[in-house]
Homo-oligomer: A and B are copies of this chain.
Amino acid sequence: QSQVSIYGNLDVSFGRFEEPSLLGDDDAVTAVESGSLRQSFIGFKGQEDLGGGLKAFFVLESGINVDTGSQDGNFWGRTSVVGLTGDFGTVALGNARNLVFLANDAFNPFRADSAMFSTSSFGFTNGPISTINAALAVAGTDISLSGLGSNWQNSITYTSPNLSGFTIAVQARLSENDDIDNGYAVALNYAAGPLALNATYEDAPITATSIALGTESADNKSWLLNASYDLGAAKLFAQYGQRDFEGFDDKYKFFQLGTSIPVSNSGSVLLSYSQGKLDDAKLQDLSLAYEHSISKRTSAYVGVNSTNIDGFEDERGTSFAVGVRHAF
């Protein structure tokens, strides 16, 4: 009688993990980690045919730290939406992946929810913002940024139907606070045979904290251009974008180049390099991995990530891992 599908992904790895540190010694640890290649989660979803091509649907996804048995963020923090889909397109309300995340997810060989290999340093709390903040702190700046995440809570997302290869998505995030602006984003996608293109624009305030400013909402206007091309022998990915953070003279400039190369019926080599710059801080991210499909739902992988922040001691962190990923 249940109308619900249960699905998910569990990714567990063993390796030597090192985060770059601006403030002292390396703290590399030998560890069992969750979600190194793709976030571990369990999901529940369902839909109902409403007639006339219209469907109601829901998606509930819960991130899991398999290594410790704890939940990964808010329980339904990965996705919790209800929506309608039909000839007019799709509308979803709730806690959704934001359009910048979706662009990073589609145009990076490591996708955007890889805890270890991610080179998607154009967004996300644990990405550029924490790195830039650390760099700014060492540089003596007292501005601290927060608020770039993978998801938009209290959001409404409209995605158009496919029109000759084009789709457009529009997203609004309600601040639910009269003192903070709502966030808006728009993404234009084009797909034709081996080619895929995307342009994403986001105007979504983040939180900036400093002695001078206190904690307040700061403008964050961003654009990101993305392309992929599947040559057959390899799929190529390229991204370029800028973020204009209020309170900074310079802009955060980002690019990523990547490729996935099928080397057998079941094995692929993944490679990606990204760079983000803001004033004197530079973040470089390089990942190389081999993933081997053991079966339809299970694969094994081995790889290395190296993250570097320019201009400071102990600025490099290099991690190695071997892992297994099981979809259900």
* A contact set with B: CB distance below 8 Å: 1-7, 10-14, 27-32, 34, 42, 44, 46, 48-51, 54, 56-58, 60, 64-71, 74-82, 84, 93-95, 151, 153-156, 174, 176-178, 182, 294-298, 324, 326, 328
Contact A76 B70 (CB under 8 A): yes
Tell me the dominant secondary structure on chain A's binding face.
Answer: strand
Q: Judge whether B5 and A178 touch: CB under 8 Å.
A: no
Would you give 27 A-B contacts (Cβ < 8 Å), ordered by A? Answer: A2-B5, A2-B6, A3-B328, A6-B6, A6-B44, A11-B82, A12-B93, A12-B94, A28-B178, A29-B174, A29-B177, A31-B176, A32-B154, A34-B94, A48-B296, A48-B297, A50-B294, A56-B298, A56-B324, A64-B76, A66-B93, A67-B95, A67-B154, A68-B80, A69-B79, A69-B95, A70-B76
Q: Would you give the shortest CB distance from A18 to chain B, in whole angstroms?
A: 11
Beta-carbon contact of A77 and B69 below 8 Å: yes
Contacts of A6 in B (CB 8 A): 2, 4, 6, 44
Set B27, B48, B51, B182: member contacting A178, Cβ < 8 A: B27
Bound Cα distance A22, B7 (Å)? 47
Bound-state Cα–Cα, A33 to B326, Å: 34
A46 to B42, CA, bound (A): 12
Name the B residues within 8 Å of A151 (CB-CB).
69
Name the residue on B nearest A79 (C-beta). Answer: B69
Residue of B nearest to A69 (CB): B95
Contacts of A93 in B (CB 8 A): 12-14, 32, 66-67, 324
Contact call A80/B56, Cβ cutoff below 8 A: no
Given contacts A297-B48, A328-B3, contact A95 B82 (CB under 8 A): no
Q: Which residue of B lies closest to A5 (CB)?
A: B2
- Contact: B70 with A77, CB < 8 Å? yes
Contact B80 A32 (CB under 8 A): no
Name the contact of A94 in the complex, choosing from B32, B60, B78, B79 (C-beta under 8 A).
B32
Minimum CB–CB distance from A48 to chain B (whole Å) comes to 5
Select the residue from A4, A74, A95 with max chain B CB neighbours within 10 A.
A95
- Flag if B84 contacts A74 (CB, 8 Å): no
A7 to chain B, nearest CB (A): 7
A78 to B64, CA, bound (A): 13
Given that A326-B56, A326-B82 are known contacts, is A153 also in contact with B68, CB under 8 Å in the complex? yes
Q: Is the CB of B69 within 8 A of A31?
A: no
Neighbour of A58 across the interface among B50, B56, B94, B328, CB < 8 A: B328
Assess whether A31 is in contact with B174, with CB atoms less than 8 Å apart: yes
